[in-house]
Amino acid sequence: MTKPEVLFSEEEIRARIKALGAEIGSTYEGRELAVVGLMKSCLVFMADLIRAIPLELSCHTLRVNSARGEGKGQGRTEIMYSATIPYEGRDILLLDDIVDTGITLNFLLDHIREKKPRSLKVCALINKPGERKIDVHPDWSAFTLDQAPVDRFLVGYGLDHAESHRGLPYIGTIPRPAAPAEGRKIRIAPDDRA
């Protein structure tokens, strides 16, 4: 297994989470916040951030499946798991791991807005504005990658590749795995020696 190259160290993450917690706490001062995190990749981020926000808050999780058509940007996004979340009339903070194309985030914002929250804001662990296909933006992000590492995959601090590397205390990169090659078709001719 390839050892990831460190992109954001444990110390950098800790400092950003502390700063985000203070900013979010200031924004919602005197109000109770409902934090909604996307499973599984933002669970570590969520656990650290809610401890850094100096407010009364409740925690909820969603699981989303995004299926994209190859190279066409088409596909569907659907909520796979959601406990009953009391959105109506509440201040909602949606936590996302990586905001890149914006397709999934846009879907979630539309879904939550239908439930009539008092307010709705987004905090992302990683914001990749250069990959946006839909004009949506997080209100806060721990880190912004204007130029995402070429041919590298982000892992660690809850982010994974094939369920590996989630437990790393830092965010790192590994080489982007090659797409699986199509199997070769081998034609076996009948044995003419009979």
pTM recorded for the entire structure: 0.83
State the average pLDDT over residues 131-141.
95
Over residues 38-57, the pLDDT tens digits come to 988 899 999 999 999 999 99
Question: Of these residues, 48, 96, 97, 100, which one is catalytic?
Answer: 100
Long-range contacts of 82-90 (CB under 8 A, 24+ apart): 85/34, 85/36, 85/60, 85/115, 86/34, 87/34, 87/112, 87/115, 87/116, 87/117, 88/115, 88/116, 88/117, 89/116, 89/117, 89/118, 90/32, 90/34, 90/117, 90/118
Catalytic residue status for 96: no
Q: In the prediction, which pLDDT does 148 show?
A: 75
Q: In the prediction, which pLDDT does 85 show?
A: 84
Q: In the prediction, which pLDDT does 186 show?
A: 40
Contact 7, 123 (CB under 8 A): no
Residue 190 pLDDT exceeds 50: no
Q: In the prediction, which pLDDT does 191 show?
A: 45
Lowest mean pLDDT among 24-28, 71-75, 156-160: 71-75
State the average pLDDT over residues 5-27.
98
Between CA 153 and CA 173 the distance in angstroms is 5
Over residues 51-92, the pLDDT tens digits come to 999 999 999 998 887 665 444 445 566 666 566 788 999 999
